[in-house]
Amino acid sequence: MAKPSIFSKDYEKRMKRRKKIIAAIVVVVIGVGSLAVFKVDVKNNLKKIFTTTNKVNKQNSSDKKVEENKNQKTDTNAQNNNSQKEASANTKEQDEKGYDLTLSSGAQVKVIYDEKDNNKKFKYIFPADNSINYNISPSGKGIVILDTKTQSMTYVDIDGNKQDISYAQYTSSGGTTFTRENVVKEKPEYVWSQSPKFLDEENVAFITQVPWFDNRATKYVWKVNIKSKEFSHFQGVEGDDIKLNNLTDKGLEAVIADKTKYLKADGQVTE
């Protein structure tokens, strides 16, 4: 831009305009320069951010894979250890001494006993099954097994002798006979025999709904003598909810609703 002559009559006016133009140009140049620097900084900063993020993501991914592999190895080792323990336990139980028994439902079990100094005592039944309930006598010389599918009871002595001690049938005062097989088959929810417990070495108590076969929920406690096969019931022991617990010095503990009673082998009931 040419500088105006100082002799020009509008010299001052033109100089002011020239300064304004130069100042505007300087501002534009500075702005363009700053923008360029800002773009470069933004570009560099974004590059750094992306680079750092990629490194973090890669590291996290690597750490996650390592952790997954570690967990997978741990789970695999745990499964292998559990399998080995189960196999070892099964082998041990199968190798233990016992009597093989086929229940009325067809289920096959092994009654395991322990022997020390020629003295045998029952320990448990193998395999454990929710459809099988059992109780061992105070001396360990006898065991009663309930097959819950058929509600039959089997007694086994320590020498392996077996006998069915199930209550086979009930005949009403009107002459109608109800058999265990038919009642359980027609009404699977009916309680014919449940929770057998030893009262002593010769008597076993159990819960039953006999002698009623209607829709009432009342249950009773009966007992059977193993030698005579005689059945009888405990007077005054009845309710919709009965639980037979452990044998105590006072007798077999029976909980009826919120009351506790003690049952003796001779039929006595105390509180």
Digit-coded pLDDT (tens) for 186-236: 999 999 999 999 999 999 999 999 999 999 999 999 999 999 999 999 999
Residue 5 domain-assigned (yes or no): no
The verdict on 171 and 266 lying in the same domain is: yes
Q: What is the pLDDT of residues 135-146, one digit of tens each?
A: 999 999 999 999
Residue 151 domain-assigned (yes or no): no
Residue 125 domain-assigned (yes or no): no
Return d(Cα 85, Cα 60) in angstroms, integer. 36
User: Quick one: which of 229, 227, 208, 211 has its CA closest to 219?
Assistant: 208
Which amino acid is located at 158 in the chain?
I
Last residue of a domain, one of 44, 77, 95: 95
The verdict on 169 and 265 lying in the same domain is: yes
Residues 169-183, mean pLDDT to the nearest whole number: 95
CB 192 within 8 A of CB 182: no
**SS3 call for 248:** strand
| Total of domains in the chain | 2
The pLDDT score that the predictor gives to residue 145 is 97
Full residue range of the structural domain in which residue 169 is found: 165-270
CB 168 within 8 A of CB 177: no
